[in-house]
Homo-oligomer: A and B are copies of this chain.
Amino acid sequence: MCANKLTMPIPEYLSEILESVRANTAGEVANYIPELKKADPNPLAIAICTVDGRIYSAGDDEVEFTMQSISKPFAYALALQECGADQVFDTVAVEPSGEAFNELSLDGSNRPMNPMINAGAIAINQLINGSDSSVEDRVEKIRKYFSELAGRELMIDRRLTESELVGADRNLSIAHMLRNYGVIDDDAHDAVLSYTLQCAIKITVRDLAVMTATLAAGGVQPITGKKLIDTKVCRLTLSVMASAGMYNEAGQWLSTVGIPAKSGVAGGLIGILPGQLGISTFSPRLNAQGNSVRGVEIFKTLSDDMGLHLMSTEPVAVHAVRTITEKDGVTTIRLQGAMNFSAGENFLHEIQQHQFEGEMVVLDLSRVITLHPMAMRMIKEGLKRIRDAGFKVAIVDPDNVLPNFTFSDGTLCAQLASERDL
């Protein structure tokens, strides 16, 4: 039997979901931008990308549309990357605003409440490439960065931008108020132009799924394998999406869908399951809150069907200790997977339960994917206690997941090239 005959049922499942919402024609396409108003309201698409880079999609997955507010979290990540968290936090707060997407919400320090509302997003855009950057240089930097995240060259819809700028009074009002409070320095019209061009970058649901999966994967673009975002930046970006991504429905979204998300008025919607998946949908009709009607419906279904809720309390299966075997007086403990605190606790618990015999204990780390410093400390401490109990100990670490082999008392642990080296 050849592999390609075993077709994946996931795209079929995604198609089923699309069909289940296709009849819902409630809502209206965004009407405050003339060009958006002309948009075909019917396209419907979904895409999922795993952190391993496998993409599944269904529907109109090759139709391009503009990112609009979906650009906000990615620009936020870029600003954090360029300027560091301190400067970004000094400029824009991270509290839920409880307000609609384009209100002017400043906190007591005259900072925009968060980077997911327009006031915050315009301020974030201005941080990128330095406040003295030309509009074109800044936008080009953003376009290139987004292109790297998507894994292909993205284009800007400049006709839409022109259309948007005609009715950009809200954003101009916000930009002038930001200037007034010294949050931004640039000319207000340039600031709005710069932000509007960022919003007009065109993508498909497949692009968005990959970009979003990059955030889910701690910044590693899952197709190209390039590390594009720091892990901490990913965490901060997801946090603000979770608390403020869905405008004044943040709490309800967290209760019912339970994943960090962001929507755009062109009809896009993205959601992230950290460490697992990036998801995106496209359907241009919007509800009163400015979110895609069918997109929201799909996300609710996905969350229920697929158990994606972040607050899901399904016990995370911790199989840190793959096996403990004994042969010829050598006990081999094989660890596997991503070693975090819970994995470390699992390891310590397992060795505490185990009746060690013979003279030597070998810890095989060759199947460990990532090793959190806390878990590393726990593993070393456990191994040291085995040693202190009278056993010889050694480590097999072919991929160098362990930065050094020094125990907490300064002594060194022996290494083996492989288990077979014994």
Q: Are A307 and B275 in contact (CB under 8 A)?
A: no
Q: Are A306 and B341 in contact (CB under 8 A)?
A: yes
Looking at A172, A273, A341, A353, the one whose CB has the most chain B CB atoms below 10 A away is: A341
Complex: how many Å from CA A254 to CA B240?
8
Contact B386 A315 (CB under 8 A): no
B-facing mask of A273-303, CB < 8 A → 1, else 0?
1111100000000000000000000000000
Copies of this chain present in the complex amount to 4
A372 and B307 within 8 A (CB)? yes
Q: Which of B5, B313, B373 contacts A305 (CB 8 A)?
A: B373
A179: interface (CB < 8 Å): yes
Q: Is the CB of B315 within 8 A of A3?
A: no
Chain B residue at smallest Cβ distance from A9: B381
| Residue A215 at the chain B interface, CB threshold 8 Å | yes
Please give, as numbers and ranges, the residues of chain B lying within 8 Å of A313 by CB-CB distance: 215-219, 231, 234-235, 238, 274-275
Determine if A7 is an interface residue (Cβ-Cβ < 8 Å): yes
**Residue A163 at the B interface, CB < 8 A?**
no
Q: Report the Cα distance A354→B313, complex, angstroms.
A: 32
Given A176-B173, A312-B235, A313-B218: A50 and B243 interface contact (C-beta under 8 Å)? no
Contact indicator per residue, chain A 319-361, by CB within 8 Å of chain B (1) or not (0) = 1000000000000000011101110010011011111110000
Q: Does A19 belong to the interface (CB within 8 Å)?
A: no
Q: Please state if A315 and B251 are interface contacts (CB–CB under 8 Å).
A: no
Binds B, one of A92-100, A137-145, A203-211, A394-402: A92-100
- Tell whether, in the assembled complex, residue A94 and residue B274 are in contact, meaning their CB atoms are under 8 Å apart: no
Quick check: B176 and A310 within 8 Å, CB to CB? no
Confirm or deny: A412 has a beta carbon within 8 angstroms of a beta carbon on chain B.
Answer: no
Residues of B within 8 A of A51 (CB): 315
Q: Would A382 and B252 count as touching, CB distance under 8 A?
A: no
Q: Is A199 an interface residue (CB 8 A)?
A: no
Contact among B176, B273, B314, B391 with A176 in the assembled complex (CB-CB below 8 Å) = B176
Q: Known: A50-B342, A311-B242. Is A355-B3 also a contact (CB below 8 A)?
A: yes
- Among residues of B, the one whose C-beta sits closest to the C-beta of A337 is B317
Query: Does A238 contact B337, Cβ atoms closer than 8 Å?
Result: no
Asked if A170 is an interface residue, CB under 8 A from chain B, the answer is: yes
| A188 close to chain B: CB less than 8 A | yes
Asked if A385 contacts B7 (CB within 8 A), the reply is: yes
On whether the beta carbons of B217 and A188 are closer than 8 Å, the reply is no
A67 CB, min distance to chain B CBs, angstroms: 21
> A202 at interface (Cβ–Cβ under 8 A)?
no
Q: Is the CB of B3 within 8 A of A389?
A: no
* A317 cross-chain contacts in B, Cβ below 8 A: 336-338, 369-370
* Residue of B whose beta carbon sits closest to that of A241: B311
A95 and B98 contacting across the interface, CB-CB below 8 Å: yes
Q: Does A10 contact B (CB under 8 A)?
A: yes
- How distant is A98 from chain B, measured CB to nearest CB, in Å? 6
Residues of chain A from 71 to 114 with CB closer than 8 A to chain B in the complex: 93-96, 98, 104, 114
Is A260 an interface residue when CB atoms closer than 8 A count as contact? yes
10 smallest CB-CB distances across A and B, nearest first, come from A317-B337, A173-B176, A218-B313, A238-B311, A169-B180, A95-B251, A306-B341, A173-B177, A317-B338, A172-B176
Contacts A/B (CB < 8 Å), 13 sampled:
A9-B348, A9-B378, A13-B377, A95-B251, A169-B177, A217-B315, A218-B315, A236-B255, A239-B311, A243-B250, A276-B315, A276-B318, A305-B373
Given contacts A94-B254, A231-B313, list 13 more A-B pairs with CB under 8 A.
Answer: A1-B386, A9-B378, A93-B252, A104-B104, A235-B313, A275-B312, A276-B341, A276-B342, A306-B341, A306-B372, A307-B340, A314-B372, A317-B370
